[in-house]
Amino acid sequence: MGNKSITDYSSKDPDPNLMRVGVLLKAGNWKTQLTDHEYELLIAGILNDRVQLHELVINGYLLKKDSLYLVIETHCSDGTRSLNHAFSRMEERVRQYMQTRWLARNIPAPEILPDTTEDQTPFFERHPLTDQHLIQLITGGKATLPYNDPHIAEIKESIRSARFCSALDYAGGQGPVLVKLIKHNKESL
């Protein structure tokens, strides 16, 4: 499984200093300047950079056309600060990529690039990820109900058809983004 490790969160004594956080990042207008493939590769590269620099620990992700669903592990003591730093670094990397892209094509950068020093649209709108079924599925768990839930069926299909999703890692493969796998206890499945 490469650089991945399995953390067993089912133990009776989990590390009280760690917490898992779900975040939904919606790409801003800059995304319209890229093809879907460029966007996917850029985001996967940025996530891997943040993991290798120990700024993020990713337990699950789903990259869709203009949204990134993340389940990340952080220390409670500096959770918000470290996440803000990691997301700020992600935005810097997007800015650098976009500027390099336009310079290489000898095109002036459009006004669509947000300026983080002014009150403009950010590179990513951040929202809490509250869909527990999605969180469960992208972190290797199961989401089953005794009845057919169209919402869960839609999530499962979205994950099945996604090229960039941690479900591949949890199924035993190796996805394009470095993931720290978690092990669910059997009662939660």
Domains of the chain by residue range: 6-184
Q: Can you name the residues that pair with 23 across neighbouring β-strands?
A: 70, 128
State residue 99's pLDDT score.
Answer: 83
pLDDT at 70 over 70: yes
Q: For residues 82-94, give the mean pLDDT.
A: 87
State residue 122's pLDDT score.
Answer: 77
Q: For residues 79-102, give the mean pLDDT.
A: 84
pLDDT at 20 over 70: yes
State residue 76's pLDDT score.
Answer: 64
Q: Residue 1 — very low, low, confident or very high, per pLDDT cuts 50/70/90?
A: very low
Q: What's the rounded Cα separation, in Å, for the pair 164 and 167?
A: 9
| Residue whose C-alpha is closest to residue 56's, from 24, 11, 87, 25 | 87
State residue 58's pLDDT score.
Answer: 95
Total Cβ atoms within 10 A of residue 83: 18
Q: What's the rounded Cα separation, in Å, for the pair 189 and 95?
A: 41
pLDDT tens for 35-63 read: 999 999 999 999 999 999 988 899 999 99
C-alpha neighbours within 13 Å on the C-beta side of residue 142: 8
Element housing 59 (H / E): strand 57-63
CA dihedral of residues 153, 154, 157, 162 (deg, nearest 10): -150
Q: What's the rounded Cα separation, in Å, for the pair 14 and 177?
A: 25
- Cα dist from 15 to 8, 18, 20, 81, 132, whole Å: 11, 6, 11, 19, 21
* Cβ atoms 138, 166 nearer than 8 A: yes
pLDDT tens for 108-166 read: 655 555 554 444 567 899 999 999 999 999 999 988 888 888 989 999 999 999 999 99
Q: What's the rounded Cα separation, in Å, for the pair 168 and 56?
A: 19
Q: Identify the residue whose tokens are 């879907």.
A: 36
Q: Residue 6 — very low, low, confident or very high, per pLDDT cuts 50/70/90?
A: very low
pTM of the model: 0.80
pLDDT at 106 over 80: no
Looking at every residue in the chain, the average pLDDT score rounds to 81
